[in-house]
């Protein structure tokens, strides 16, 4: 694995860690609107795209984070948050 790939994974993991600090109520508002947002990464070339959608048949919300770069394949990861602010 190249150093750049490791840096990409580290950048994505750090972003996920920060986004997991946001409460269920924040993600619920995003999922209601079907909205998403994009933000640049200050320490890494590329940008993050973040989307939240309802997990089918539940009140859980699936958050998807995609690290996009112009010259490489996008990295995607995410988490599911419950109304009790627990992660699955």
Cα dist. 51→1, 7, 12, 48, 65 in Å?
28, 22, 14, 10, 7
Q: Please report which confidence band the pLDDT of residue 30 belongs to, taking 50, 70 and 90 as the band edges.
A: very high
C-alpha R_g of the chain? 14
Mean pLDDT along residues 8-34: 94
Cα separation, 22 vs 34, whole angstroms: 17
More confident residue, 79 or 3: 79
Cα separation, 61 vs 51, whole angstroms: 10
pTM of the model: 0.86
pLDDT digits (tens, 9 = 90+) for 44-63: 888 999 999 999 999 999 99
Mean pLDDT along residues 12-21: 94
Question: DSSP 3-state assignment of 87?
Answer: strand
């Amino acid at each position: 694995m190249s150093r750049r790939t490791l840096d990409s994974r580290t950048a994505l993991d750090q972003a996920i860690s920060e986004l997991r600090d946001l409460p269920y109520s924040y993600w619920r508002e995003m999922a209601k609107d079907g909205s998403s947002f994009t933000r640049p990464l200050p320490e890494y070339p590329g940008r993050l795209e973040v989307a939240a959608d309802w997990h089918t048949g539940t009140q859980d919300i699936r958050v998807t984070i995609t690290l996009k770069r112009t010259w490489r394949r996008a990295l995607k990861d995410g988490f599911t948050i419950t109304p009790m602010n627990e992660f699955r």
